[in-house]
Chains A and B, each alone.
Chain A
């Protein structure tokens, strides 16, 4: 599929010019496995229709600028990706097949790790595994904060405002300093980086004047080419723990107990309250417990909980710091959770090599792994698309949202596979919709379920924090307060920064060419 309004002849000319700049090897425009690797393999619709027109891979900022010159000339839409392994939200694929993916994976330098001030500076192609191995090889006593699949991108995930599980779990909060290439080819260093020989480039986030770093996240206003990220100095002690709770409605009390612990930083890390099936699916598959259709029945849930010694909710968090502090904090935490009837407490030794505990323990101390991917084993040949509304840290809020989403899943024949990722004052309620990738009927059902979820959330006033390519417009429309004032401001910025609309058209529902139509 050609980009809109481009003739085949013009497209071919553009590709030739790109080959002259990048080399033939790094312009992938022909049918075949090299281009097919840019599809969204978990697309809840036709996977092959997600394949882009072409992909190009620059090696450095200068090549990016040259690519942009060609893109502006031909009005070629570009879709920048970093590591491109954000499966569940679209992976390396663009929103529309008539787009050229700008694959930045070749730019994979770890530019600096500063142990004294505890930060790193990375390019787009650096994965969590890359950074972890770098730190390990040099015995640097800094922890990083990976998202659950370790092959994800340090920059890519952060710029999409993703999260991890250590005290630095809110990734964007730990960002300091950014280099961006604008659509017209201008290279911008933000904040302190805009002063020559900047000494505090990665120490102080805000610089002088308007702080713009945020507008380059989850958007299409520029191409981020470098990012500074604060790393956590290795603490003197680390003790991960698990608390299990027997009943589904315990989520109410769990959340009420948790709020003061989070606000008071007794639970300093991005903790997770994990539902039964999410917890179990890392180790077992559905077929081992139930061979019927529809959600797992209660009898099977009971057997699952009993076999694996887990609860309907499973709360993972960790203690950090010197021994005395960890012990003291533990007293308060244990006393607090003990208020919930049936709560059970476990440290590492109590879980005896349980792979679910093991991977959480790794994530909460910054060791990347791939274990959570096993969730796709829950059904045979699984794919997934995620739905993630924000929930307040209140018992009422969490319980209500949980009931709504669970009931919708069940009504559409799916299991509720969810967890609450607990931040300071919010929870990311992550719902993983796992479906059989080769079953057209199931894909249809998951699309219908997703729509029902979007509708329900829109009417209940929940906003999603992130979404899959196919749903970006739908989610954008829910942010419509004051006649879409927020999106109208995005559209003004888009038309100022990218008047031809060549960068990631439609990312987060932001489109070019809208701002000059003012309300009368």
Chain B
């Protein structure tokens, strides 16, 4: 029977993208009380990392576990592939986190489609930013981080269709999410 760690690592290995793993953002001087988890293998997601002045904290799930255990941040916001989102969920739930916001960002139909789930009235500025920002849409997660952390799921969902094409080096399908300590 595989160990939990082996299982998690194998999940990551199945999705063969260039830099497998998770980039954890510590904004260099910003030092916010929330953290970002970003798929380091995806060019579009890395845009968010750049915007926040991120440094790579590691590409091993163990780093993530250590940070979650150290209880430094109240809220975690992610822009990752679905498999990584799942890993985070399995780590976060038993540690007392709850899901506050969820989104998907899908290039598979040709142009980018967003779907957001949460308190739609509250997160309207975020939804509008996704619609208006074109290829720079990941910055909306940074711009409205505090807002997303106050949303609640299950909420309603909204779909936003854009004309944005998938840039090279980007994943087909990304998820965004916010887990917050309850």
Measured between beta carbons, the chain B residues less than 8 angstroms from A511 are 27, 29-30
Q: Any chain B CB within 8 A of the CB of A506? A: yes
Kindly supply a per-residue 1/0 record for chain B positions 90-129, scoring 1 wherever the CB is within 8 Å of any chain A CB and 0 otherwise.
0000000000000000000000000000000110010001
Interface positions, chain B 15-50, Cβ under 8 Å from A, are 26-33, 47, 50
Q: Any chain B CB within 8 A of the CB of A185? A: no
Measured between beta carbons, the chain B residues less than 8 angstroms from A506 are 30-32
From B32, B53, B132, B135, A513 is in contact (CB under 8 Å) with B53
Cross-chain contact A451 with B129 (CB below 8 angstroms): no
Cross-chain contact A4 with B26 (CB below 8 angstroms): yes
Q: Any chain A CB within 8 A of the CB of B58? A: no
Interface positions, chain B 74-103, Cβ under 8 Å from A, are none
CA of A455 to CA of B51 in the docked complex: distance in angstroms?
A: 26
Cross-chain contact B122 with A458 (CB below 8 angstroms): yes
Kindly supply a per-residue 1/0 record for chain A positions 61-89, scoring 1 wherever the CB is within 8 Å of any chain B CB and 0 otherwise.
00000000000000101000000000000
Cross-chain contact A477 with B136 (CB below 8 angstroms): no
Q: Any chain B CB within 8 A of the CB of A98? A: yes
Q: Any chain A CB within 8 A of the CB of B67? A: no
The distance from the CB of B51 to the nearest CB of chain A, in whole angstroms, is 5
**Inter-chain contact total with CB atoms closer than 8 Å:** 86
Measured between beta carbons, the chain B residues less than 8 angstroms from A501 are 28-30
Q: Given known contacts A4-B31, A517-B139, is B125 in contact with A480 (CB within 8 Å)?
A: yes
Q: Any chain B CB within 8 A of the CB of A426? A: no
CA of A506 to CA of B32 in the docked complex: distance in angstroms?
A: 8
Q: Any chain B CB within 8 A of the CB of A139? A: no
Cross-chain contact B136 with A519 (CB below 8 angstroms): yes
CA of A165 to CA of B30 in the docked complex: distance in angstroms?
A: 36
| Beta-carbon nearest neighbor of B51 in chain A | A517
Cross-chain contact A77 with B29 (CB below 8 angstroms): yes
Cross-chain contact A520 with B28 (CB below 8 angstroms): no
Cross-chain contact B143 with A484 (CB below 8 angstroms): yes
Cross-chain contact B26 with A5 (CB below 8 angstroms): yes
Q: Any chain A CB within 8 A of the CB of B145? A: yes
Kindly supply a per-residue 1/0 record for chain A positions 438-482, scoring 1 wherever the CB is within 8 Å of any chain B CB and 0 otherwise.
000000000000010011001100000000001001101100100
Q: Any chain B CB within 8 A of the CB of A512? A: yes
From A4, A505, A519, B133 is in contact (CB under 8 Å) with A519
| Closest A-B pairs by Cβ, 7 of them | A501-B29, A474-B146, A473-B146, A513-B53, A96-B31, A4-B31, A520-B135
Residues of B within 8 A of A (CB): 26-33, 47, 50-53, 55, 121-122, 125, 129, 132-136, 139, 143-147, 150
A-B contact pairs, 27 of them (CB 8 A): A4-B26, A4-B29, A4-B31, A5-B26, A5-B28, A5-B55, A96-B32, A96-B33, A455-B122, A455-B150, A458-B147, A459-B121, A470-B33, A477-B143, A483-B132, A484-B129, A484-B143, A501-B28, A501-B29, A501-B30, A502-B29, A511-B30, A513-B28, A513-B52, A517-B136, A519-B136, A520-B135
